[in-house]
C-alpha cells in the first residue's frame, strides 16, 4: 500500500468568516512578522507550507476556498476577484492590518486583485511561478468532463478521486519537471488533495480565471513585488506572465532559477526564504540598478 494512503492531513485552526470555514496552518517563528502564503490550483496549505518550516517569520497558510478543509465559495464566486474579498475577510479574522503575501501559481491571481483593490492591506508580494495573465485555453479533457452536469459528479467521485494517488503523483511530477519529485511531496495525503470538491473548485476557478484577470487594473507603483520563476517551467510560460506583470507594475524584481520547473519553492527552499526575507526587510535587492534579473543555478 502506498505510504500516501497512511498519512492523515495536517490540521490547523479554523476561522469562521461570514458563512465560510477557512482552515489555516501555521509554521515558522510564531512570534515573528506575519506572512500569508497561498497555494496554487489543485493543491492545499500543507504543500505550500513545507519550504517555510524553518522560516524566521510567522507563516500562515490557508487552504484556499474549496480545497483542503476550507469550505467552497458559491460557484459564481470562485474566480480571483471574489477570492480577493475572501482574502480580505481572512485578514480581518486573523487580525492583520497589512501583510506580506507569498503566492504560488494561480494563487497569485487573488493576491494581485487584493493588492490592486485594497493596497493598504498588502505590504508586498512574493509571487512564485505566478499564473496571472489571461492564457489560451488548454484541452484538459478529463477536468472539463468532470465539470459537466450529469457526468461530472460520476467522474469526480468514481474516476479521479478513486485514483487519487495516481493523479496526484502525475500532477506533482509534471510540475517538478525537469527536477526529481522531492520525497516530502510524494508523502502528501493524496485522498485529501484530490477529492470531488477540490476537483470541482479547480475546474470552476480555471473557468473564471481569464475574465477576472482581464479586469486587473495597474498595480500601485510603491508596492514591492518580487517574482521567482524556474526557467524550465512547462506548466506556464514565464515570459508570458512576466511581460504582462511588467506592464501592470513598473519595478517587478525577478529571480530566475536555471534548470528548474514550476515548483522552485520546493527545489530551492533556501533561496525562496531569502527572497521572502529580502522582501520583508527591504534591505537587499535581487536586481541590479540596470534591472537585470538574478540568474541562479541549482
Confidence bin at 146 (pLDDT 50/70/90): low
Q: Is the pLDDT of residue 153 over 70?
A: no
Q: Is the pLDDT of residue 211 over 90?
A: yes
% of the chain residues with pLDDT over 70: 85
Q: Which of 80-89, 142-151, 158-167, 188-197 has the lowest mean pLDDT?
A: 142-151
Q: Is cis: bond before 46, omega within 30 of 0?
A: no
Residue of higher predicted confidence among 186 and 140? 186
Q: Would you kindly state where each structural domain of the chain is located, as residue ranges?
A: 11-140+209-297
Topology adopted by domain 11-140+209-297: Rossmann fold (3.40.50)
In this prediction, residue 4 carries a pLDDT of: 42
Span 101-121, average pLDDT: 98
Task: List CB contacts of 154: < 8 A, sequence separation 6 or more.
Answer: none
The C-alpha atoms of residue 235 and residue 128 are separated, in whole angstroms, by: 13
Parallel, antiparallel, or unpaired for β 20-28 and 58-62?
antiparallel
- Is there a contact between 34 and 60 (Cβ–Cβ < 8 Å)? yes
Predicted confidence at residue 142, as pLDDT, reads 56
Amino acid at each position: 500500500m502506498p505510504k500516501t494512503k497512511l498519512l492523515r492531513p495536517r490540521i490547523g485552526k479554523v476561522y469562521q468568516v461570514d458563512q465560510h470555514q477557512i482552515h489555516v496552518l501555521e509554521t515558522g517563528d510564531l512570534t515573528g512578522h506575519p506572512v500569508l502564503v497561498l497555494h496554487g490550483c489543485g493543491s492545499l496549505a500543507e504543500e505550500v507550507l513545507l519550504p517555510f518550516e524553518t522560516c524566521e517569520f510567522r507563516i500562515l497558510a490557508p487552504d484556499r476556498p474549496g480545497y483542503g478543509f476550507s469550505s467552497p465559495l458559491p460557484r459564481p464566486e470562485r474566480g480571483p476577484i471574489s477570492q480577493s474579498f475572501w482574502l480580505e475577510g481572512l485578514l480581518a479574522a486573523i487580525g492583520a492590518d497589512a501583510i506580506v503575501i507569498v503566492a504560488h501559481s494561480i494563487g497569485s491571481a487573488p493576491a494581485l486583485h487584493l493588492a490592486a483593490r485594497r493596497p493598504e492591506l498588502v505590504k508586498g508580494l512574493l509571487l512564485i511561478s505566478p499564473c496571472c495573465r489571461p492564457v489560451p485555453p488548454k484541452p484538459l479533457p478529463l477536468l472539463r468532463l468532470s465539470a459537466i452536469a450529469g457526468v461530472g459528479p460520476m467522474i469526480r467521485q468514481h474516476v479521479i478521486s478513486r485514483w487519487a494517488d495516481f493523479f496526484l503523483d502525475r500532477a506533482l511530477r509534471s510540475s517538478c519537471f525537469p527536477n526529481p519529485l522531492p520525497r516530502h511531496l510524494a508523502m502528501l495525503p493524496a485522498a485529501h488533495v484530490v477529492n470531488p470538491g477540490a476537483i470541482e473548485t479547480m475546474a470552476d476557478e480555471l473557468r473564471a480565471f481569464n475574465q477576472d484577470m482581464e479586469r486587473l487594473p495597474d498595480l500601485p507603483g510603491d508596492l514591492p513585488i518580487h517574482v521567482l520563476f524556474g526557467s524550465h517551467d512547462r506548466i506556464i510560460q514565464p515570459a508570458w506572465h512576466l511581460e504582462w506583470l511588467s506592464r501592470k507594475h513598473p519595478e517587478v524584481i525577478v529571480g530566475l532559477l536555471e534548470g528548474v520547473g514550476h515548483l522552485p519553492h520546493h527545489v530551492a527552499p533556501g533561496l525562496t526564504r531569502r527572497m521572502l526575507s529580502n522582501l520583508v526587510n527591504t534591505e537587499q535587492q535581487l536586481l541590479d540598478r540596470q534591472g537585470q534579473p538574478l540568474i541562479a543555478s541549482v
